[in-house]
């Protein structure tokens, strides 16, 4: 099962808000006795990217897709790709920049959950879901 990108009744499941932190390359900094700084690059891939997606006012059945996916990947244990529909990734819906700019896969990473999805019921049959993802090698 891929990350939820399709509504239960069809159509794309597009977030109403997103935040993205671009992560960094693995670097270790050492200070010599004379105070000089030495930095060592320990890899060629950026990692620890953080993607937070909010789906406001969606049907409860669509909110349940995120809870089911969280169970399927055993919470924060397994990694996963976000998936595409005809070359389009709905998690980037509304983003007008380059599609690979917000992705972990471009840098050799997959995503995993940073914590459980947060679900807030906003009306009868409607919820707002927030998922926090982190890019890992």
Encode pLDDT of 59-106 as tens digits.
999 999 999 999 999 999 999 888 765 555 656 666 666 656 666 566
pLDDT, one tens digit per residue, over 9-60 is 888 888 999 888 888 889 999 999 999 999 999 988 888 889 999 999 999 9
Dist. CA 122–CA 14, nearest whole Å: 18
The DSSP bridge pattern shows strands 126-136 and 50-59 to be: antiparallel
For residue 5, what pLDDT is reported? Answer: 84
**Between residues 136 and 114, which one has the greater pLDDT?**
114
For residue 109, what pLDDT is reported? Answer: 73
Dist. CA 55–CA 63, nearest whole Å: 8
Report the candidate in 121, 137, 98, 119 with the shortest Cα–Cα distance to residue 4.
119
For the ranges 37-46, 104-113, 122-131, the lowest mean pLDDT is seen at: 104-113
Dist. CA 51–CA 101, nearest whole Å: 12
- Which token pair is 85? 């529909």
Mean pLDDT computed over 99-128: 83
Q: Is 31 helix (H, G, I), strand (E, B) or coil?
A: strand
**Between residues 110 and 94, which one has the greater pLDDT?**
110
The Cβ-side half-sphere exposure at 31, using a 13 Å CA radius, reads 3
**Between residues 109 and 49, which one has the greater pLDDT?**
49
Dist. CA 3–CA 105, nearest whole Å: 14
């Amino acid at each position: 099962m891929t990350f939820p990108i399709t509504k239960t009744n069809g159509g794309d499941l597009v977030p109403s808000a997103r935040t993205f932190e671009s992560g960094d390359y693995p670097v270790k900094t050492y200070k010599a006795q004379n105070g000089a700084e030495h930095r060592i690059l320990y890899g060629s891939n950026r990692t620890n990217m953080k993607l937070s997606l909010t789906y406001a006012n969606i049907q409860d059945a669509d909110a349940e897709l995120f809870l089911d996916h969280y169970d399927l990947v055993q919470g924060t244990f397994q990694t996963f790709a976000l998936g595409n529909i005809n070359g389009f990734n709905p998690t980037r819906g509304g983003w007008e920049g380059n599609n690979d700019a917000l992705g972990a896969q471009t840098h050799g990473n997959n995503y995993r959950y940073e914590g459980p999805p947060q679900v807030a019921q906003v009306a009868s049959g409607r919820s707002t879901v927030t998922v926090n993802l982190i890019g890992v090698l």
